[in-house]
Amino acid sequence: MKINFVQKTSTGKVRDENQDDMGFIDIPYGKIFVVADGMGGGINGKEAANKAVYTVLNKFSNDNNSITYELDKSIQEANRKIYEISNKNRQTGSTAAILVIKKRKAYIAHVGDSRIYLFRDSKLNKLTTDHSKVQSLLDAGVITIDEAKNHPDAHIITQCLGVNHEVNAEIGNKPLKIKNKDIFLLCSDGLWNMVDDQKITEILSGTYSVDVMCDYLINEALNAGGFDNITIQIVSVDIENEKFYTSLLSNIKSGLNKAKSAFIYKKKFLLTGIFAALICLIATFFSYYHNPYEIDYSNSYSYTINECNNMVTDIVKQVGYPINKEIIELTSISVHKEDIIGKAIEKKLNKKYQGLIDVDKEYKNYIEKVGSSMLPYMKREEIKYHFHVIQKDDEINAFAIPGGGIYIFSGLLKTLENEAQLAAIIGHEMMHVDLKHCTAIYQILLQIPKENQSHFMFILASIADQPFSSEIEAEADRCSLDLIYKLKYSPYQIVNYWETTANDDIPSTYSLCSQSIITTIFDELDNLLASHPTYPKRICLLKNHIIKLQEKNPQDSFFIGKWNYENKIPLYKR
């Protein structure tokens, strides 16, 4: 049984401090997950939540006691420790939601209003009942569910750790039998108070990784106001791998029986029987044990920081680019206008590439799903991204248009080797939209009289944008690396792609002393007007940024997704 697990927390938009806590431990008793929400203000609440998590995780003994007994014992011990803090004139307390998974069984316990949900068969089930005043009113039929949502006493809880000498924790009498694809969600009230069950169900129904699901949920809570701390644990269970071993044993027995039968009745068929057994084994291995999640290890790459911008015009562009960014921000247009422009461009593209757009529906759907996994990380949430494939094998290109249109030529898709490279390409184009690279110049062009637009459009666009277009591309590269790094895609694969694509005729280094003044002037002019960084420079910049990402947030391994790319099945499709 494979468990995919992620936990994340956010202070929210209103609180100054995060008084939630969370933790996980894997011991002989099983895998234990805890979420706690501290109360009491300032350091008191934070300390209470920390005590709750630490004590529960560390008080399970190695005795042969039942899990329910150990749950109660650890909760009472956590209560005692927090009660000691409360008695020192520091009134405090904490909730606790606890999940224990052992083999194929789940045990739950809770105190307060931190919740545990089970998402199964496309339905969200709340496994815990809040220990709160509002819940008591609901149970008594005094108020309705709609009235409970904005009730003035919503913050009052009737049970928590640390208020009394003993606590009456609610512990499930019977363990829950786990099924394949079950998803457990543990959370503080900062999530469920802000995000309704329908939205939670929608997110957990998605084909995302648990990491992306967690980000989606936190973003939803923040967008709804983020009035409280938000803490989430997602535990996804995959039992499918057990089928491999079951099928393997079955095929071994089948093959051996065939071999035995052949030996008994006709010895000359012995080799045929053995061969049949081997075929069954190999077929089982490839049908159940192919691994679409090929791994890239960071220790396989030895990048070093290098000076990439070593031309005079590089320095000029670096100095001027912040000004260019300010111009982009000042001249950028509203989302509504951007959408109008985007639709106008779409019409022209549909006419230009009539009969060539989205011909391959399988590719379009695949790219759309990969792109959709990146949406939680886009800052401009109001943009409605849409993804398209233009069937032109002779075009190795991709581009973005205002309003969120992402277009990739089939020629480019044929040069890619895996999903990590595809994600980097898609992310690069989405970043052009998110960073408003697609819109500022259009705002300027809109001011030109219609009768002069056709004549001035190209000239004005070139003058305003060309000197900084390579810096814009470099920025999109960096932000795209940040994006795929968060999604656990290998950032090394896009470097491999550009190294494979690079023109060997372009020198990797540049020196003012190594060539004539005339050549130097022309090279500087080419560099100034280049729409993209030259291959050596682009590769250099990418490598430098990967080094910085690893220093800031080290990761040992990443997904490649060659199998996924070949079969057009997204890495996060489960």
Which range, of 282-286, 305-309, 496-500, averages the lowest pLDDT? 282-286
Per-residue model confidence (pLDDT) at position 201: 95
Handedness of CA 415, 419, 425, 429 (dihedral sign): positive
Q: What angle do CA 51, 52, 56 make, to 5 degrees?
A: 110
Residue with tokens 């803090």: 85
CA 517 to chain centre: 50
The answer to whether residue 384 scores a pLDDT higher than 70 is: yes
108, two tokens:
């739950």
pLDDT in tens, 443-474: 445 444 445 445 445 444 444 444 446 777 88
3-state SS, one letter per residue, for 282-323: HHHHHHHCCCCCCEEEHHHCCCCCCCCCCCHHHHHHHHHHHH
Amino acid at the residue 85? I
The percentage of the chain sitting over the pLDDT mark of 70, rounded to a whole number, equals 73
Per-residue model confidence (pLDDT) at position 543: 94
Per-residue model confidence (pLDDT) at position 366: 93
Please give the Cα distance from 292 to 283 (Å, whole number). Answer: 17
pLDDT in tens, 412-431: 999 999 999 999 999 999 99
For range 302-322, the mean pLDDT? 63
In 270-416 the beta strands, taken as DSSP E runs, fall at 295-297, 386-390, 398-401, 405-409
pLDDT in tens, 210-236: 988 999 999 999 999 999 999 999 999
- Asked if 424 and 484 count as a contact pair (C-beta separation under 8 A), the reply is yes
- DSSP-H helix ranges across 188-267: 189-192, 197-204, 210-223, 241-265
Which range, of 277-286, 305-314, 358-367, 477-486, averages the lowest pLDDT? 277-286
Per-residue model confidence (pLDDT) at position 530: 46
Would you place residue 405 in the very low, low, confident or very high pLDDT band (cuts 50, 70, 90)? very high
Per-residue model confidence (pLDDT) at position 289: 42
User: 488 or 532: whose pLDDT is higher?
Assistant: 488
Please give the Cα distance from 308 to 417 (Å, whole number). Answer: 27
* Average pLDDT value for the chain: 80
pLDDT in tens, 127-172: 999 999 999 999 888 988 888 878 888 889 999 999 898 999 999 9
Highest mean pLDDT among 141-155, 247-261, 275-289, 481-495: 481-495
The total of other beta-carbon atoms located within 10 Å of residue 487's CB is 24
Please give the Cα distance from 123 to 117 (Å, whole number). Answer: 10
Q: What is the DSSP letter of 357?
A: B
355 half-sphere exposure, CB direction, 13 A CA radius:
0
383, two tokens:
């943009």
Mutual angle of helices 419-434 and 450-486, in 10-degree steps: 130
pTM beyond 0.85: no
pLDDT in tens, 282-299: 555 544 444 545 788 888
SS percent in the chain: helix, strand, coil, step 5: 50, 15, 30
Would you place residue 41 in the very low, low, confident or very high pLDDT band (cuts 50, 70, 90)? low
Please give the Cα distance from 115 to 338 (Å, whole number). Answer: 42
Please give the Cα distance from 2 to 238 (Å, whole number). Answer: 5
At 422 the three-state DSSP class reads helix
Per-residue model confidence (pLDDT) at position 247: 56
User: 457 or 439: whose pLDDT is higher?
Assistant: 439
pLDDT in tens, 2-29: 899 999 999 999 998 999 999 998 887 7
Please give the Cα distance from 476 to 486 (Å, whole number). Answer: 15
Q: What is the DSSP letter of 570?
A: -
The percentage of the chain sitting over the pLDDT mark of 90, rounded to a whole number, equals 47
What letters, b where the CB count within 10 A reaches 16 and e where it falls short, cover 439-458? bbbbbeeeeeeeeeeeeeee
Which range, of 207-211, 389-393, 493-497, averages the lowest pLDDT? 207-211
pLDDT in tens, 63-83: 678 899 999 999 999 999 999
Which range, of 39-53, 346-360, 440-454, 474-488, averages the lowest pLDDT? 440-454
Would you place residue 404 in the very low, low, confident or very high pLDDT band (cuts 50, 70, 90)? very high
Per-residue model confidence (pLDDT) at position 306: 83
What letters, b where the CB count within 10 A reaches 16 and e where it falls short, cover 555-568? eeebbbbbbbbeeb
388, two tokens:
């398209």
Handedness of CA 43, 44, 48, 51 (dihedral sign): positive
Please give the Cα distance from 503 to 507 (Å, whole number). Answer: 9
